[in-house]
Amino acid sequence: MYEKLDRSHGNVLGYEVRDELNEDDLDAMLAELEETIRAEGSVRVLVAMPSVPTPELDALDEDLGFWLEHGDDIEKYAVVGDSTLVEWATDAGDLVSSIDIEHFDADDREAAWEWLEN
């Protein structure tokens, strides 16, 4: 399950992802990201994860395909959450991707928004 955050605007999109992330949820999020890329030329993304979501396996395939296709269109990607697993995955993604990816603790959500918007 996900929720688009109210602070989203222009090419800056924020989501909170909780519990299980199913294929329909991921399709909706990726479609919105693609629409923003078409309209704005690029996107900056914030994903807040109060807990580590469990994605469906079919959703993972789509997610990987999206990042391979649109990696150059994503300017910044902020991941917000206190899980060590989330922090580790964010750091690993930053090492292997051309996307500027940063991890922020849950208490630092405001700093994550500011980083995206500047």
Domain extent at residue 101 = 2-117
Tokens (6 digits) for 88: 């580790």
Give residue 18's identity as a one-letter amino acid code. Answer: R
Q: How far is CA 70 from CA 2, 33, 82, in A?
A: 21, 9, 27
State pTM to two decimals. Answer: 0.86
Domain count, the chain: 1
Q: Is residue 55 a contact partner of residue 26, using CB atoms and an 8 Å limit?
A: yes
The CATH number covering residue 76 comes to 3.30.750
Residues whose CB falls within 8 Å of the CB of residue 110, separated by 6 or more in sequence, listed in order: none
DSSP category for residue 77: E
Tens of each residue's pLDDT in the chain, 118 residues = 899 999 999 999 999 998 887 888 888 999 999 999 999 999 999 999 988 766 654 544 555 577 668 889 999 999 999 888 777 777 777 677 788 989 999 999 999 999 999 9
The CA-based dihedral angle spanning residues 58, 62, 63, 69, taken in that order and rounded to the nearest 10 degrees: 160
